Structure 1
């Protein structure tokens, strides 16, 4: 037992050198409350269900946000139900070392609350019990190994203080006497010169209320720490935009800021590249917005289509839209299209203007971060934003519908680049 405890303490101390710097890792814990000795008890002894008789103090070290170690020292006493059976008193002192799992972090409680947490613990220890009122002829305290497991609910009051409620179940190994101290915890004869050496167990539980005091200079403890989102929040984005406001002016409205735009006076319906230059996808000298066959080279006399066979532009563009080559992308938790995606909206608007008989649905999607219901509403907002921009560009609202389809589960949610591809709207021709 001593070797096991020393190994656990060594592991705890050895991890300090590798501690993360983003959050505090140490806390001091203290609580008091109820206990109950379940078995063994010799007839006619009984213990009350809620016996006020335990107090503890401990220290906890979190290796990371999800796992840590706890040392706990608790003392108390077991006693009988008053006026119902003979009285007894057994005092105990218990020391335990436990592994701790932050179930609140593991189960993602932060998705719906930032004040309620839950810890699970499992470990070993040593308990010393002194039978104050025993009729048996011995005076020395008894020591047993223990296995302790339980759950701790937490409510964060401040970043340095949390209210706790803990329930633990304890198993004593090789307990020689019943909790009341009146009999041996075994079937062997009781007239030995020394108490019999037995392997019988004892079971008791505790329920306490207490406080966690978080130590350290960081803003948060590991219990409540959430890794920063790699994407800017709305407020952070607004702050940065205000600081570079002049740089982000877009004089020709092509979605490319003036400081990056190599062609700052492109026509309103022109498709442009990331440098703001009008695109000529087939390299035939005719800009895409003037080219009826933008991906097949042809002379200006045939509006950019091959002389041998003039491709039906409507069919080609319909296929490009239906096959989701034309998409509008968004930032994290935003329903405002990214600047470089505006050209896709202009592209679709231009297509609809040239084909007045076609109707179209705008389909919104979101990545898998966050609650599912929230993402469904966000996807609908994105679809509506693109729908509204198409109407502003001159498309009749009767030709357009929009719908949010929620999370796009076809991409790898653990990949930042894949999640960016999921935050989009696509189009379906009706």
Structure 2
């Protein structure tokens, strides 16, 4: 019970995910794209910023000695994005990227008096990208699937070189004018990149899980002069490096009223970086973990504060474009150098922080209301773990807590179609009118699914008949003109009672386990009676000179009860008759009393008193002359006269 109460409280304070952009501009978190589009006619704009810092150790040659130096690298990334909803399933976004790369040298003896100072940096607009998303909601449930193709083109305007250059004198690592490839991110941008991702988002209430899986392609061009220090040898390098990349990003968010907690992970695996130096070390993967919090500021604005850290193994020698081999006297090929090319977009920083400012038109007006309530079984009142969905609408479906039946959903204003479903129960639908800003409580009950089916037929003709099946004295179902019926029967052993107008009733015993489906057919024996028909019984016995019915007559009277039960509209007169023995007045009184005794028996057996009447004829209507004992026995009788049967 405590667990169910806790879940209910979490659902009450939770909210739906905000329609805010990711780094691509498309709706999502930061590194993960939500497969659900922003919405028809909605748009967003955003400014993303992320500043990373990494302390990396490199081997320097200073004063004729090998020295390990720890330089600090700073890299800043800014994205300006905009997105627009093209209908309910498509979203398009554009992104402009600006980067800043900086290396701050460790100041040690031999490096402290560099003429250009400790820092080298470069910055500029790097790339322009276009992103398209198609999202769909199969089954109108909590799962969204999507597809995202994209393309980026280089627009670098940061100077004469697209990578950071040592504009200083020799610092023990880089000669003057040499590209500083051994940085985590020496590049300003890539020449060209494109890819496509499959998207999945699952609203698990109260958290939402997003996953993107894709194939990315990057192309970089490197034009530089490699120096073999101490010899004066140089070689001009002009090469393209193409990198196919497997991309995986996943994120989970917990939206609440006014703010959202989230955490993401992004992994890139470089499929062609297959070089291994013999020590089983490979440098073909990048991984970053990035948690954050998103604040809704009002009037359509929101702000993210994020932190991130990488868990990859950066080694500067794997980023030198094969310089180590050239310095050692070899003549590395372009294929060899490509294994040591800087990764497109660089390594992730060791750690970093970011602040983002976003605006979405979807958040400007409060066009929503909070809808809460419970779903339970109409059979026994038990709570159900049902799904409350909104077919044809942008609102996300809500999953009820199985322990309490509680649900919560943010729904748009206007006419709202609601579908409530649960395994083993009939679907229920409703149409509600939602007023923006006015929270509403709606409880629903679901009828159990009908698990017993069958037919009613006439035993003599085999034709279908209209009948009623009942169990537990409370649940019943009536067949249609085709004789078929369906009814819900709970687990356990039950007696199903079948009845039809003009037919003798029948019963069947069934045993249900796990709400299994079962077929039970009924063939009923016809026993219709007609107006004016007389049913005469001379085997209804009474005590001598008494109106007390003998026990051996009960079976005959029970048959009368069945016939009357099978003809619920029949009006019947009970007529008592005697023989001629005794006084005529005595016989008249005795016949009336015996008719009344039969009346009482039938009423006590469930026949409505309003359908019955009595009369006594004494000895006045013999069927045969009272000339023998056998004839007199035939005249001592009870007759049932059908007055009507409509």
After TM superposition, the score normalised by the length of structure 1 is 0.36
The structure richer in helix per residue is 1
The structure richer in strand per residue is 2
| Bigger RCO of structures 1 and 2 (CA < 8 A, at least 6 apart) | 1
Structure number with greater Rg is 2
After TM superposition, the score normalised by the length of structure 2 is 0.26
